[in-house]
Amino acid sequence: MDLISALESLEPELEAGLAQASSLEKLEELRIEFLGRKGRLAKLMSQLPSLDPAERPKFGQRANELKESCNARFDKVKDSLLAARERASLARFDSSTPGRKYWQGSLHPDTLIMEEICAIFEKLGFDIAQGPEVEIDHYNFEALNMPPEHPARDMQDTLYITDNILLRTHTSPVQVRTMLARKPPLAVVVPGKVYRRDSDLTHTHMFHQVEGLLVDKNISMAHLRGILTVFVRDVFGPSTEVRFRQSFFPFTEPSAEVDISCFLCGGVGHIDNEPCRVCKGTGWVEVLGCGMVDPAVFEAVNYPKDVSGFAFGLGVERIAMLKYGIGDLRMFFENDLRFLQQF
């Protein structure tokens, strides 16, 4: 057969093949056979140099026409096969089958509790403030009335990066940063991570605190007590009682630890004649530290002499452990889904 007739016979053969192609896979095989780089059309075209030079243009033109029309035929058959496949899958779709449940992520319990705590203070007019986790000694200690060699530094096992740079041991440095950036009156709460060099059942290298600071004129401990009472009643229930115990922090004077009446035994210390396991029979549980801002702190930030204020700091995990009866602090950070999915 000469080259021209071979070319002309391609189209009817392809037509017959297409009529048989029952699947997309078969169709693709056919396309490769006829139109592929080493397919039948390509083979015929490679023989072009053997033709008489006068016949070459006509042959070339015809071959190109054929290529285009064959491609168009393939596309048409492909479209109809795709449509048929779609129809078939819709016919199999059973709208009464229950859906598959997708696994949904959620916020970490620490984040949830910090949000809950901050929301309570926001309702009371406090702003949210934040500060860096890598802090300088001056903000973490010195401006908070803990100069170098002050024994109160020993209460916090510090992770130093250099002599002067450390991982903040509490959120209190944000008190200083806030007061340097803003004039009184102000009220802020500061959620965030803090770091210490210790680790056991009730201590981890990293944990979370929420700091509070309110500065204005004529602020007294009564304001502090009022605000904290609203807070603990919101978290632990409306009948919760608050008790202040004297304490010491270098940056507050006077300072206090706040205990709340035990939410499990109702403050009586026992349940069915057994000592209560939450308050160990005392009727009270410690929840946070607080006090009136020490004048030395106001001095460190150049605040006027006529302001006063209160501050407090609470451990987020401690609040969560009390509220949800969690026995081991380390569970917060082990990423065990059986724990995390309960929140």
Q: Footprint of ligand DAH on this chain (CB under 6 A)?
A: 170, 172, 211, 249, 252, 289-291, 311-313
- Running DSSP on this structure, what letter comes out for residue 263? T
- Running DSSP on this structure, what letter comes out for residue 200? B
Nearer to ligand DAH, 240 or 294 (CB): 294
Alpha helix locations (H) across 162-214? 173-181
Nearer to ligand DAH, 27 or 242 (CB): 242
Helices 56-92, 3-20: crossing angle, 10 deg rounding: 0
Nearer to ligand DAH, 283 or 289 (CB): 289
**Closest approach of ligand DAH to the CB of residue 245, in Å:** 12
**Closest approach of ligand DAH to the CB of residue 203, in Å:** 12
Residue nearest to ligand DAH (CB): 313
**Closest approach of ligand DAH to the CB of residue 93, in Å:** 59
Nearer to ligand DAH, 31 or 170 (CB): 170
Contacts of 156 (CB under 8 A, 6+ apart): 169, 170, 196
Place of tokens 């620490």: 110
Contacts of 120 (CB under 8 A, 6+ apart): 230, 231, 234, 235
- Sheet with 165-167, side-by-side order of all strands: 134-136, 165-167, 159-160
Cα separation, 322 vs 260, whole angstroms: 11
Angle at the Cα of 125 from the Cα atoms of 286 and 232, rounded to 5 degrees: 20
Cα separation, 87 vs 38, whole angstroms: 34
Nearer to ligand DAH, 172 or 308 (CB): 172
**Closest approach of ligand DAH to the CB of residue 231, in Å:** 14
Cα separation, 45 vs 63, whole angstroms: 7
Nearer to ligand DAH, 240 or 252 (CB): 252
Nearer to ligand DAH, 41 or 144 (CB): 144
**Closest approach of ligand DAH to the CB of residue 274, in Å:** 32
Cα separation, 279 vs 286, whole angstroms: 9
Query: Which one-letter amino acid corresponds to residue 217?
Result: K
Query: Which one-letter amino acid corresponds to residue 218?
Result: N
**Closest approach of ligand DAH to the CB of residue 196, in Å:** 9
**Closest approach of ligand DAH to the CB of residue 306, in Å:** 21
